[in-house]
Amino acid sequence: MKFEIDLDEYLLSVEVTHCEVVEPDYRCRDSDWDYYGYREMEFEVISGSVFDEDGNETELGRNGCAGVAEQYAEDIEDRLWTLIEKKREAA
C-alpha cells in the first residue's frame, strides 16, 4: 500500500511493505503478545521532497529519504496507522 505523508516540511511517498494486526485472544495463555494482541508494520520511504521557508521544493534523493525515515520513523508509523485505520473504517 502506498501513502502520501505530510510531515513538517517534508512530503513523503511511503510504501507499507508489511502490516500485521493480531487481535487479542484472552483465552490464550502462551504469551502476552497473543493474550493482548499486537500490530506491526514495516515501511519504506520511496521518494520525498523538502520545502524551505519560501515554499521552494527540493527532492530528497535516496540518502535523504533514508535519513528522514530513520529520524522520523515513529511519527511516520503513527500517521500510517491512522491512514490504515481510516481506510479500514471506510471499507
4-40, pLDDT tens digit by residue?
999 889 999 999 999 998 888 888 878 887 888 889 9
Whether 38 and 31 have beta carbons less than 8 Å apart is answered as no
Q: Looking up cell 479500514, which residue turns up? A: 88
CA contacts within 13 A on the Cβ side of 53: 0
Q: What is the pTM of this model?
A: 0.83
